[in-house]
Amino acid sequence: MHLDIEHKENTLLVRLGGELDLGVADELRLALDKLLQEKKAKHLILNLSRVTFIDSSGLGVILGRYKRLVQQGGQIILVGAQPPVKRILELSGLLQIMQDCPDETQALAKIV
């Protein structure tokens, strides 16, 4: 798993790469929670364009951050998921509760 982080006002932009599975789920959860707290971010944009695989553990990490941010009046926007990953996001129902954008510029424009 690879993380590239950018902070813009009240939004944390995280570019993920590699596989989001059981092997990295705890590490990712801890990293995102720490960053959200340190940066006092209200919104999270997850760029998934370089994610090659996601399983239920990865989905759980995303869903957990979604629940946390929504309680604080924030949101998560998913960006650029490749077709196999996007299919899993659709089947899991995450795309019914989270916005999906083709690129970061459009995602940043949707932050309210």
The domain spanning residue 94 has which CATH number?
A: 3.30.750.24
Angle at 22 between CA 16 and CA 23, to 5 degrees: 75
Q: What is the residue-averaged pLDDT of the chain?
A: 95
What the block records as the tokens of 50 is 């370089």
What backbone torsions phi and psi does residue 80 show, to the nearest 5 degrees? Answer: 65, 30
Q: Is the pLDDT of residue 25 over 80?
A: yes
Amino acid at 88: I
Residue tagged 């941010």 (tokens): 69
Domain count, the chain: 1
pTM of the predicted model, to two decimals? Answer: 0.95
Q: Is the pLDDT of residue 112 over 90?
A: no
Q: What is the pLDDT of residues 49-98, one digit of tens each?
A: 999 999 999 999 999 999 999 999 999 999 999 999 999 999 999 999 99
Domain with 76, as residue range(s), is 2-110
